Amino acid sequence: MAGERGRLLLVCHRYWPAHGGSERFFQRAAEEAVRRGYGARVWTTDALDVRALWERGRARAPEARAVHRGVEIERFKLRYLPWHGRMQRVLSLLVPGAGKALIAPPAPLAPGLVSRAFTTARQADLILTTALPYDSLFWVSARLARRWGVPWIAVPFVHLGEPDNDRVRRHYSRPHQLALLSRADLVVVQTRLEGEFLAGCGVAQSPPAPVITGGGRRMLKLGMGVDPEELDEADVEAVRRKYGLSRPYIVHVAPLCVDKGSVALLSAWQALRGRGRAVDLVLVGARTAEFEAALRAVECDGLHLLENLSEAEKNGLVAGAEILALPSRTDSYGIVFLEAWYYGRPVVGARAGGIPEVVADGERGLLVPFGDVEALAEALERLLSDGALAERLGQAGRRFVVEEALWSRRMEALFGAVEELLGGRG
């Protein structure tokens, strides 16, 4: 992992060719590191399907080592306990302090990765880690940073959930998680809301400006981005032909589950169809058991369930949609909003997580309370009925993307911080 400017180790739960928001962020950071003359190595699990992190029988990468676009990738094999999730919960009660990070669900069990925290000689000049609640990755990174004497950047992607319900955010603010984040030299957050929450938990100062220094701890508010060259390759007509999309459609891109708003969206779409609205629904993502249960009560004419799409196919679906709907309570930012906006598509989100800061209700999209099927149906109907409103919101979103949310801009800020930290360690 030679690099003229230094060596970076990126530790994450999944990596290319796996899809996801934090995965996209880390792939972009690793490739940007190579472009800037750093050596970049990724340590990750062998999970391709996110469910493989806690469930046997899901897609996993066959090769332990690979090189992609100059980035060295090493994948560590996942292991499973009998009655895996239940056993993790029991064992986590017996382990004190920060050590809970190694076993508390849904921490991936990758013994080969954990052993590196004790045995591996220095291989990097800086460590970058994502994402909670995969806590074991943060434990390994914190220990390595201390052993090697190198700076550590933590990128937690905290999910805040609904403002008046702590069900989601308490899984991202457990004492051992906060203790680990407090050891990072830099905590990267996606929104001001995430930064203020962590500051309130005592992790670091809240960022009134993009970068804050002081007190030996720092926080960088960054956000997600898109690459116009990638999005410009979308072929709407080819995707429509391949998947038989002859009617207007609403698209939803996420793991299909309650927390992502998939079940509420399914019900809202049924309500629209019941009112005579001729619009299809395209759901792109892996199906969970709870979603399958909801699906059994649905009339499926006009419903398209897709997964394992290429990025180009996904982009084509988003570009051709009437509306992008992500009424989720478990998104730190929602990169798919940016993708929809780049194509001038209007969006509907939930008043939960980091979404209210990103979408800006009435300015770049519409927001509804999480889980409120009637409000969601009304917001979708409003955009389908009012072409001028849909156009105004979509174009406002596009201006935001072009002016503020390109990957080139995000990476400039991130690597400015990287260079400062490396310079500070001499």
The neighbour count for residue 242, using CB atoms within 10 Å, is 14
Question: Residue 209 pLDDT more than 50?
Answer: no
d(CA 105, CA 86): 9
Domains and CATH numbers, the chain: 7-225+406-424 (3.40.50.2000), 228-404 (3.40.50.2000)
SS percent in the chain: helix, strand, coil, step 5 = 45, 15, 40
The per-residue pLDDT for 297 is: 80
Mean pLDDT of 323-328: 98
Average pLDDT, the chain: 93
Pairing of strands 39-45, 71-76: parallel
Residue 143 neighbours by CB under 8 Å, 6+ apart: 117, 118
Supply the pTM of this predicted model.
0.92
In this prediction, residue 214 has a pLDDT band, given cuts at 50, 70 and 90, of very low
Mean pLDDT of 312-325: 97
Residue by residue, DSSP assigns 200-261 as HTTSS---SSSEE--TT--EEE----B-HHHHTT--HHHHHHHHT--S-EEEEES-BSTTTT
Which is nearest to 422 in space by CA: 211, 127, 17? 127
Question: Residue 231 pLDDT more than 60?
Answer: yes
Q: Which residues pair with 366 in a beta bridge?
A: 348
d(CA 419, CA 413): 10
In this prediction, residue 374 has a pLDDT band, given cuts at 50, 70 and 90, of very high
The neighbour count for residue 409, using CB atoms within 10 Å, is 14
The per-residue pLDDT for 217 is: 56
